[in-house]
Protein backbone atom coordinates (compact mmCIF):
# COMPACT_ATOMS: atom_id res chain seq x y z
CA UNK A 1 0.00 0.00 0.00
CA UNK A 2 1.26 3.50 -0.85
CA UNK A 3 2.33 5.61 2.15
CA UNK A 4 -0.23 7.97 3.66
CA UNK A 5 -0.23 10.99 5.94
CA UNK A 6 -2.69 11.67 8.75
CA UNK A 7 -4.47 15.03 8.42
CA UNK A 8 -6.43 16.82 11.15
CA UNK A 9 -8.03 20.26 11.27
CA UNK A 10 -8.56 20.70 15.02
CA UNK A 11 -10.92 23.53 15.91
CA UNK A 12 -12.29 24.62 19.24
CA UNK A 13 -15.49 22.61 18.80
CA UNK A 14 -15.02 20.13 15.95
CA UNK A 15 -12.13 18.19 14.43
CA UNK A 16 -12.05 17.18 10.79
CA UNK A 17 -9.73 14.23 10.34
CA UNK A 18 -8.62 12.30 7.26
CA UNK A 19 -5.76 10.61 5.43
CA UNK A 20 -4.05 11.59 2.19
CA UNK A 21 -1.58 10.07 -0.24
CA UNK A 22 1.18 11.72 -2.24
CA UNK A 23 -1.41 13.85 -4.06
CA UNK A 24 -2.48 15.49 -0.79
CA UNK A 25 -6.20 14.86 -1.48
CA UNK A 26 -8.04 13.95 1.77
CA UNK A 27 -9.98 10.69 2.02
CA UNK A 28 -11.56 8.70 4.87
CA UNK A 29 -12.83 12.07 6.11
CA UNK A 30 -14.60 12.16 9.47
CA UNK A 31 -16.02 14.94 11.61
CA UNK A 32 -15.56 14.44 15.32
CA UNK A 33 -17.08 16.43 18.20
CA UNK A 34 -14.21 17.43 20.48
CA UNK A 35 -16.43 17.06 23.54
CA UNK A 36 -16.42 13.30 22.89
CA UNK A 37 -12.68 13.09 23.65
CA UNK A 38 -10.52 13.96 26.61
CA UNK A 39 -7.51 15.00 24.57
CA UNK A 40 -6.07 15.33 21.09
CA UNK A 41 -4.12 12.13 21.71
CA UNK A 42 -7.37 10.21 22.39
CA UNK A 43 -9.03 11.60 19.27
CA UNK A 44 -6.14 10.80 16.92
CA UNK A 45 -5.54 7.34 18.42
CA UNK A 46 -9.22 6.42 18.05
CA UNK A 47 -9.10 7.34 14.37
CA UNK A 48 -5.83 5.49 13.76
CA UNK A 49 -7.08 2.35 15.54
CA UNK A 50 -10.08 2.25 13.19
CA UNK A 51 -7.95 2.11 10.05
CA UNK A 52 -6.98 -1.03 8.19
CA UNK A 53 -3.67 -1.67 6.47
CA UNK A 54 -0.43 0.23 6.96
CA UNK A 55 -0.86 3.20 9.33
CA UNK A 56 0.11 6.73 8.24
CA UNK A 57 3.86 7.35 8.45
CA UNK A 58 3.57 11.03 9.27
CA UNK A 59 0.98 13.62 10.27
CA UNK A 60 0.07 17.23 9.59
CA UNK A 61 -2.16 18.97 12.13
CA UNK A 62 -3.92 22.33 11.93
CA UNK A 63 -4.65 23.64 15.43
CA UNK A 64 -6.83 26.56 16.53
CA UNK A 65 -4.16 28.43 18.46
CA UNK A 66 -0.71 30.01 18.10
CA UNK A 67 2.25 27.71 17.38
CA UNK A 68 5.33 28.93 19.23
CA UNK A 69 7.39 25.76 19.67
CA UNK A 70 7.07 22.18 20.87
CA UNK A 71 4.33 22.91 23.43
CA UNK A 72 1.00 23.53 21.69
CA UNK A 73 -2.19 24.78 23.36
CA UNK A 74 -5.60 25.41 21.82
CA UNK A 75 -7.00 28.88 22.48
CA UNK A 76 -10.67 27.98 23.02
CA UNK A 77 -10.37 24.45 24.45
CA UNK A 78 -8.28 23.19 27.40
CA UNK A 79 -6.19 20.86 25.22
CA UNK A 80 -2.41 20.95 25.06
CA UNK A 81 0.31 18.60 23.84
CA UNK A 82 4.00 18.28 23.03
CA UNK A 83 4.70 17.84 19.33
CA UNK A 84 7.69 15.58 19.97
CA UNK A 85 5.86 13.46 22.55
CA UNK A 86 2.79 13.09 20.30
CA UNK A 87 4.94 11.98 17.36
CA UNK A 88 6.64 9.38 19.55
CA UNK A 89 3.40 8.11 21.09
CA UNK A 90 1.72 7.63 17.69
CA UNK A 91 4.87 6.40 15.90
CA UNK A 92 5.07 9.13 13.27
CA UNK A 93 8.32 9.62 11.38
CA UNK A 94 7.43 13.30 11.02
CA UNK A 95 4.78 15.51 12.58
CA UNK A 96 4.07 19.09 11.51
CA UNK A 97 1.73 21.42 13.41
CA UNK A 98 0.37 24.69 12.01
CA UNK A 99 -2.12 27.32 13.13
CA UNK A 100 -5.50 26.37 11.65
CA UNK A 101 -5.92 29.48 9.50
CA UNK A 102 -2.31 29.27 8.39
CA UNK A 103 -3.09 25.76 7.11
CA UNK A 104 -6.38 26.99 5.58
CA UNK A 105 -4.41 29.65 3.67
CA UNK A 106 -2.26 26.97 2.03
CA UNK A 107 -5.46 25.54 0.56
CA UNK A 108 -6.78 28.78 -0.97
CA UNK A 109 -4.86 28.36 -4.26
CA UNK A 110 -6.43 24.89 -4.63
CA UNK A 111 -10.05 26.06 -4.35
CA UNK A 112 -12.22 26.54 -7.44
CA UNK A 113 -14.88 29.12 -8.31
CA UNK A 114 -17.52 26.65 -7.08
CA UNK A 115 -15.93 26.87 -3.60
CA UNK A 116 -16.30 30.66 -3.39
CA UNK A 117 -19.16 33.18 -3.23
CA UNK A 118 -18.38 36.75 -4.23
CA UNK A 119 -19.66 39.61 -2.08
CA UNK A 120 -19.93 42.86 -4.03
CA UNK A 121 -17.44 43.64 -6.75
CA UNK A 122 -13.73 44.23 -6.97
CA UNK A 123 -10.64 43.22 -8.89
CA UNK A 124 -7.64 41.48 -7.38
CA UNK A 125 -4.20 42.95 -7.98
CA UNK A 126 -1.72 40.25 -8.99
CA UNK A 127 1.12 39.86 -6.50
CA UNK A 128 -0.64 41.83 -3.74
CA UNK A 129 -1.29 40.48 -0.21
CA UNK A 130 -4.42 38.38 0.36
CA UNK A 131 -6.30 38.31 3.67
CA UNK A 132 -8.06 35.23 5.04
CA UNK A 133 -10.24 35.66 8.12
CA UNK A 134 -13.41 34.19 9.47
CA UNK A 135 -15.56 33.34 12.49
CA UNK A 136 -15.84 29.85 13.93
CA UNK A 137 -15.35 29.01 17.60
CA UNK A 138 -13.04 32.06 17.50
CA UNK A 139 -11.98 34.47 14.73
CA UNK A 140 -9.13 33.01 12.69
CA UNK A 141 -6.87 35.14 10.49
CA UNK A 142 -3.90 34.63 8.17
CA UNK A 143 -2.12 36.68 5.52
CA UNK A 144 -0.93 35.30 2.17
CA UNK A 145 2.06 37.05 0.61
CA UNK A 146 2.78 36.08 -3.02
CA UNK A 147 6.47 35.63 -3.85
CA UNK A 148 8.38 35.18 -7.11
CA UNK A 149 8.09 31.44 -6.52
CA UNK A 150 4.95 30.47 -4.65
CA UNK A 151 3.78 32.35 -1.59
CA UNK A 152 4.40 32.89 2.12
CA UNK A 153 1.73 32.52 4.81
CA UNK A 154 1.76 34.50 8.05
CA UNK A 155 -0.40 33.32 10.93
CA UNK A 156 -2.18 35.92 13.07
CA UNK A 157 -4.06 36.24 16.34
CA UNK A 158 -6.10 39.24 15.09
CA UNK A 159 -9.22 37.81 16.74
CA UNK A 160 -7.84 39.05 20.06
CA UNK A 161 -7.64 42.70 19.03
CA UNK A 162 -9.92 45.00 21.00
CA UNK A 163 -13.40 45.67 19.61
CA UNK A 164 -14.62 49.26 19.33
CA UNK A 165 -18.05 50.75 18.65
CA UNK A 166 -19.04 53.18 15.88
CA UNK A 167 -22.85 53.36 16.29
CA UNK A 168 -25.06 53.75 19.35
CA UNK A 169 -26.34 50.16 19.14
CA UNK A 170 -22.76 48.91 18.99
CA UNK A 171 -21.86 51.03 22.01
CA UNK A 172 -24.68 49.37 23.94
CA UNK A 173 -23.45 45.92 22.88
CA UNK A 174 -19.87 46.68 23.93
CA UNK A 175 -21.06 48.14 27.25
CA UNK A 176 -22.96 44.92 28.01
CA UNK A 177 -19.92 42.83 27.14
CA UNK A 178 -17.58 44.95 29.26
CA UNK A 179 -19.83 44.34 32.27
CA UNK A 180 -19.84 40.59 31.59
CA UNK A 181 -16.30 39.99 30.32
CA UNK A 182 -14.11 43.00 31.03
CA UNK A 183 -12.04 44.20 28.04
CA UNK A 184 -13.81 43.11 24.84
CA UNK A 185 -11.90 41.39 22.04
CA UNK A 186 -13.06 41.06 18.45
CA UNK A 187 -13.85 37.36 18.77
CA UNK A 188 -16.01 37.96 21.85
CA UNK A 189 -18.59 38.98 19.21
CA UNK A 190 -17.24 37.67 15.90
CA UNK A 191 -17.45 33.94 16.58
CA UNK A 192 -20.11 31.30 17.21
CA UNK A 193 -20.20 32.00 20.97
CA UNK A 194 -20.05 35.71 20.11
CA UNK A 195 -23.18 35.49 17.97
CA UNK A 196 -24.96 33.86 20.92
CA UNK A 197 -23.87 36.74 23.18
CA UNK A 198 -24.88 39.34 20.61
CA UNK A 199 -28.34 37.85 20.09
CA UNK A 200 -28.93 37.59 23.84
CA UNK A 201 -28.07 41.28 24.29
CA UNK A 202 -30.32 42.35 21.40
CA UNK A 203 -33.31 40.07 22.04
CA UNK A 204 -33.02 38.71 25.56
CA UNK A 205 -33.19 35.19 24.10
CA UNK A 206 -30.64 32.42 24.58
CA UNK A 207 -30.19 30.33 21.42
CA UNK A 208 -27.36 28.38 19.84
CA UNK A 209 -25.49 29.98 16.95
CA UNK A 210 -26.87 27.27 14.65
CA UNK A 211 -30.46 28.06 15.69
CA UNK A 212 -29.94 31.82 15.26
CA UNK A 213 -28.55 31.44 11.73
CA UNK A 214 -31.23 28.94 10.71
CA UNK A 215 -33.99 31.27 11.92
CA UNK A 216 -32.37 34.19 10.10
CA UNK A 217 -32.24 32.18 6.88
CA UNK A 218 -35.93 31.36 7.41
CA UNK A 219 -36.67 35.10 7.56
CA UNK A 220 -37.25 35.51 11.30
CA UNK A 221 -36.92 39.25 12.00
CA UNK A 222 -35.03 39.28 15.30
CA UNK A 223 -32.53 36.61 14.34
CA UNK A 224 -31.96 38.24 10.96
CA UNK A 225 -31.29 41.58 12.67
CA UNK A 226 -28.74 39.93 14.98
CA UNK A 227 -26.97 38.31 12.01
CA UNK A 228 -26.94 41.61 10.08
CA UNK A 229 -25.35 43.44 13.02
CA UNK A 230 -22.84 40.59 13.32
CA UNK A 231 -22.00 40.92 9.61
CA UNK A 232 -21.74 44.71 9.89
CA UNK A 233 -19.14 44.32 12.65
CA UNK A 234 -17.34 41.60 10.67
CA UNK A 235 -17.22 43.83 7.61
CA UNK A 236 -15.76 46.73 9.59
CA UNK A 237 -13.07 44.59 11.24
CA UNK A 238 -12.09 43.02 7.91
CA UNK A 239 -11.93 46.52 6.43
CA UNK A 240 -9.54 47.48 9.24
CA UNK A 241 -7.36 44.46 8.47
CA UNK A 242 -7.51 45.02 4.72
CA UNK A 243 -6.18 48.55 5.23
CA UNK A 244 -3.54 47.36 7.70
CA UNK A 245 -2.12 44.88 5.17
CA UNK A 246 -3.18 46.62 1.92
CA UNK A 247 -4.89 43.38 0.88
CA UNK A 248 -5.44 44.26 -2.77
CA UNK A 249 -5.05 40.60 -3.67
CA UNK A 250 -8.46 39.91 -2.15
CA UNK A 251 -10.22 39.12 1.10
CA UNK A 252 -11.49 35.62 1.84
CA UNK A 253 -14.04 34.96 4.58
CA UNK A 254 -13.71 31.49 6.11
CA UNK A 255 -14.86 29.73 9.25
CA UNK A 256 -17.94 27.64 9.90
CA UNK A 257 -20.05 30.63 10.95
CA UNK A 258 -19.01 32.60 7.86
CA UNK A 259 -19.92 29.68 5.61
CA UNK A 260 -23.29 29.14 7.33
CA UNK A 261 -24.14 32.85 6.93
CA UNK A 262 -23.14 32.98 3.25
CA UNK A 263 -26.72 33.51 1.94
CA UNK A 264 -27.14 36.51 4.29
CA UNK A 265 -24.14 38.55 3.11
CA UNK A 266 -25.72 40.14 0.01
CA UNK A 267 -28.59 41.87 1.88
CA UNK A 268 -26.54 42.68 4.98
CA UNK A 269 -24.48 45.81 5.79
CA UNK A 270 -21.27 43.74 5.49
CA UNK A 271 -19.85 45.23 2.30
CA UNK A 272 -20.85 48.80 3.17
CA UNK A 273 -19.19 48.49 6.60
CA UNK A 274 -16.08 47.00 4.98
CA UNK A 275 -15.75 49.98 2.64
CA UNK A 276 -16.76 52.74 5.09
CA UNK A 277 -13.28 53.74 6.26
CA UNK A 278 -12.86 57.41 5.27
CA UNK A 279 -10.87 58.58 3.40
CA UNK A 280 -10.26 55.14 1.86
CA UNK A 281 -13.74 54.09 0.71
CA UNK A 282 -12.67 54.06 -2.94
CA UNK A 283 -9.57 52.02 -2.13
CA UNK A 284 -11.53 49.38 -0.26
CA UNK A 285 -14.31 49.29 -2.85
CA UNK A 286 -11.81 47.90 -5.37
CA UNK A 287 -10.83 44.94 -3.17
CA UNK A 288 -12.69 41.71 -4.04
CA UNK A 289 -14.27 39.69 -1.23
CA UNK A 290 -15.23 36.02 -1.37
CA UNK A 291 -16.87 33.76 1.21
CA UNK A 292 -15.31 30.30 1.21
CA UNK A 293 -18.19 27.81 0.93
CA UNK A 294 -16.13 24.61 0.67
CA UNK A 295 -17.11 22.27 3.53
CA UNK A 296 -13.56 21.29 4.60
CA UNK A 297 -11.09 23.94 3.37
CA UNK A 298 -8.80 23.38 6.35
CA UNK A 299 -8.26 19.78 5.27
CA UNK A 300 -7.45 20.94 1.74
CA UNK A 301 -4.74 23.21 3.14
CA UNK A 302 -3.30 20.75 5.63
CA UNK A 303 -3.44 18.13 2.86
CA UNK A 304 -1.02 20.27 0.86
CA UNK A 305 1.32 20.39 3.87
CA UNK A 306 0.95 16.63 4.33
CA UNK A 307 1.77 16.02 0.67
CA UNK A 308 5.07 17.82 1.13
CA UNK A 309 5.86 15.65 4.15
CA UNK A 310 5.39 12.45 2.13
CA UNK A 311 7.55 13.78 -0.68
CA UNK A 312 10.38 14.48 1.79
CA UNK A 313 10.46 11.09 3.58
Q: What is the pLDDT of residues 281-295, one digit of tens each?
A: 999 999 999 999 999
What's the whole-number mean pLDDT along residues 263-270? 97
What's the whole-number mean pLDDT along residues 155-160? 93
Position 3 scores a pLDDT of: 87
Question: pLDDT tens for residues 209-257?
Answer: 999 999 999 999 999 999 999 999 999 999 999 999 999 999 999 999 9
Helix (H) or strand (E) holding 161: none
Position 310 scores a pLDDT of: 84
Q: Work out the pLDDT band at 300, boundaries 50, 70, 90.
A: very high
What's the whole-number mean pLDDT along residues 75-79? 91
What's the whole-number mean pLDDT along residues 167-191? 94
CA distance 102 to 105: 5
User: For 47, how many CA atoms within 13 A lie in the half-sphere containing its CB?
Assistant: 27
Q: Is the pLDDT of residue 308 over 70?
A: yes
CA distance 294 to 283: 28
Share of the chain above pLDDT 90, in %: 89
Position 183 scores a pLDDT of: 93
What's the whole-number mean pLDDT along residues 40-45? 96
Q: Work out the pLDDT band at 150, boundaries 50, 70, 90.
A: confident
Q: Is the pLDDT of residue 309 over 80?
A: yes
What's the whole-number mean pLDDT along residues 47-76? 92
Alpha helices in 14-166 (DSSP H): 40-49, 83-89, 100-107
Q: Is the pLDDT of residue 2 over 90?
A: no
Helices and strands counted in the chain (H then E): 11, 13
Position 76 scores a pLDDT of: 86
Position 301 scores a pLDDT of: 94
The model's pTM is 0.93
- 170 Cβ contact list (under 8 Å, min separation 6): 229, 233
Q: Work out the pLDDT band at 100, boundaries 50, 70, 90.
A: very high
Position 1 scores a pLDDT of: 66
Amino acid sequence: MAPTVLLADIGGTTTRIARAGVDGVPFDIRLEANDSYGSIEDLLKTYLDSLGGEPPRCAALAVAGPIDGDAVRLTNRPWRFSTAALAQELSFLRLTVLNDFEAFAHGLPLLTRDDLMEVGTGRAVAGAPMLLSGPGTGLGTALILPREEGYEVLASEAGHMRLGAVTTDEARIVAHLVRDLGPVSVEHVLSGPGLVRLHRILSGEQQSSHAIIKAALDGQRQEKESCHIFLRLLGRVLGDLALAFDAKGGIYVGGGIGRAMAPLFAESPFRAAFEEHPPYLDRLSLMPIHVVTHATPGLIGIGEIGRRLLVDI
